[in-house]
Structure 1
Amino acid sequence: MKAKRVWGLVLAAAMCMAVAGCGQEEAETATTEPQYQVIGTEAEGAYDILLKNSIGQDVTGISVKTSDEEAYPANMLASDAVLKNGETAEWFYMPEEAGETEGVGEKDIALNVVYQVQITLADGTVYELSSLGMDDIDQNVELCLEDDVVFAKYTSKASGDTVSTKEQEVASKAQKDAESQEEVASEPAPVEEVQQEAPAQPAQQSAPAASEPQQAPVEQIPEQTTEGCLTEGGGPAFN
């Protein structure tokens, strides 16, 4: 009887240890799953993409628009949030309901819609992905920076191949630079400002000429008359 009791206690202890071990393993599995920063809002029909920053510096702004829109909407990152270099975030984006749609399960994908993504870096530099095929991304997207362009690398959902948009972004940048140069060349040359001449100074009035010294009046000597007769000495003769 004692032996049976001992074996019963041993089996019970073994079962408890096994159950505890399973629970610990499940807990470890749950805690080791990666926890990503969330960008956007999780909702039915939204794209769910794992976005990795391999640009070389932190990302402070992400904004998405269609090619038909003129301006980018508000930043999808919170005001105090950044996607640090080397980190991955879970990015939710609700597609625009535009163009023809094709039912894919519970999600309708908008066809013929080109998405453009504006990326702002920590140093204030702004880059643009001119075209990102959201509906063709398998799940993971990596942002890279080379040759002064930001481009995306991902696995195509349709073909299974690795896609890089670098050549496309380089061509888009070259086109934009050419258009900017044409705009500058077409602008009219600035009109040179005519320098206004200083008003002519009035001619200085010449100093009055020094008055010539007036000659003293010549004393008039009364003329001597020869009336009367002359004496022998030349003087007048008085009667």
Structure 2
Amino acid sequence: MKKRIMNGMLICAATLLIFGCEKKAETKAETESAVVETETETETEKETYKTIGQEKEGGFSVKLKNSTGKDIIGVAVKLVENEQFPENMLASDDVFSANEERILFYENNGNNTEETQQESNENDKLLTQGYDVQLTFSDGSTKVLHSFPFEDIKEGELCFEDEVAFLKYTNLSAKENVDTKNAELAVKQAEESEALAAAETEYSDYVEDNSWYEEDDGASWDNGGYVDDGASWDNGGSNEVYVPEAPAQGAEECLGDDALTY
């Protein structure tokens, strides 16, 4: 009897061991299958999106959605300290359509990520230094995304409102949602103020260089011309009118050869 019981227990243990191994093998197979599927989906995802620029080792890679409501026909990137943008990264017949998603590749030039000194609040995040991105729209207008955060972004949205282009994204450093609209509006206002000040200075210099002036005697300067009587000529300078004197004539000259004499 005891022998039968022992045999039964051994059979049960063996059965449990077999089923356990089979279950473990099934779980492992399912896990490996899930990993393969994930890798396949990731590879497919990369192939689905069009790219802007060339992928380079150590460079930046950002997934961007065009939420501006406009077609984009030009993308250019420059260092902040440079004045001119380089050539368009899109081909002449390539259009980054509205609501389309693409991968932007750009080389890493090793810039720092120091923050600008602009004031901000919870809804007005500071822009990092480094790169500016210029967008050219199908209507020919251009807008600039200032201090594009290549070092702190994986994906984001390109937006357009109130005559400025801006970026919405979740930063990698703090996992916070960032909206650069207020920062871009501040940049726009500063540029407009600077342009207005430059125009006023130019106008002031022009007026100073071409202004009328007064002589010590108080006579104002003019450019010359006929005076009010329509006959006398003003030679310019002070407002004293120059009237040519008639040549001196004798009595006979005044009367002429045909004049009657008494």
TM over 0.5: yes
Q: Structure 2 residue aligned with 1:62, among 75, 80, 88?
A: 75
Aligned to 1:115: 131
Alignment of 1:88-237 (within 5 A): 88-99=101-112, 113-137=129-153, 139-187=154-202, 188-190=205-207, 191=210, 197=225, 209=256, 211-213=258-260
Distance 1:125 1:37 in 2: 23
Secondary structure, in 3 states, of the residue corresponding to 1:151? strand
Distance 1:157 1:125 in 2: 31
- 1:110-150 alpha-carbon deviations (Å, 9 max, x no partner): xx85211111111111111112211111x222111111110
Q: How far did 1:74 drift?
A: 1.3
Distance 1:30 1:130 in 2: 31
Secondary structure, in 3 states, of the residue corresponding to 2:48? coil
Q: How far did 1:176 drift?
A: 0.8
Distance 2:95 2:144 in 1: 18
- 1:175-201 alpha-carbon deviations (Å, 9 max, x no partner): 11111111111121342697563795x
Distance 1:146 1:207 in 2: 86
Would you identify which runs of 4 or more consecutive aligned residues in structure 1 move more than 2 Å?
A: 29-34, 97-100, 189-200, 202-215
**What amino acid is aligned across from residue 188 of structure 2 in structure 1?**
K
Q: Structure 2 residue aligned with 1:71, among 52, 67, 84?
A: 84
Secondary structure, in 3 states, of the residue corresponding to 1:56? coil
Structure 1: gaps of 5 or more residues: 1-25, 101-111, 216-239
Q: How far did 1:209 drift?
A: 4.4
Aligned to 1:104: none
- 1:1-22 alpha-carbon deviations (Å, 9 max, x no partner): xxxxxxxxxxxxxxxxxxxxxx
> Whose strand fraction is larger, Structure 1's or Structure 2's?
1
Q: How far did 1:97 drift?
A: 2.6
> Whose helix fraction is larger, Structure 1's or Structure 2's?
2
Structure 1 pair 59–204 and aligned structure 2 pair: CA distance change class (3 A): farther
Tell me the number of residue pairs that the alignment of Structure 1 and Structure 2 aligns.
176
**What amino acid is aligned across from residue 134 of structure 2 in structure 1?**
Q
Q: How far did 1:32 drift?
A: 7.8
Larger radius of gyration: 1
**What amino acid is aligned across from residue 174 of structure 2 in structure 1?**
S
- Give me the TM-score of the superposition, normalised by structure 1: 0.62
Structure 1 pair 126–211 and aligned structure 2 pair: CA distance change class (3 A): same
Aligned to 2:116: none
**What amino acid is aligned across from residue 164 of structure 1 in structure 2?**
D
- Give me the TM-score of the superposition, normalised by structure 2: 0.57
Q: How far did 1:47 drift?
A: 1.3
**What amino acid is aligned across from residue 100 of structure 2 in structure 1?**
E
Distance 2:142 2:48 in 1: 28
Structure 2: gaps of 5 or more residues: 1-36, 114-127, 213-221, 227-231, 234-243, 248-252
Aligned: 1:84 with 2:97: yes
Structure 1 pair 197–129 and aligned structure 2 pair: CA distance change class (3 A): same
Percent identity, aligned pairs only, is: 34
Structure 1 pair 196–145 and aligned structure 2 pair: CA distance change class (3 A): farther
- 1:44-66 alpha-carbon deviations (Å, 9 max, x no partner): 21211111111121111111112
**What amino acid is aligned across from residue 92 of structure 1 in structure 2?**
F
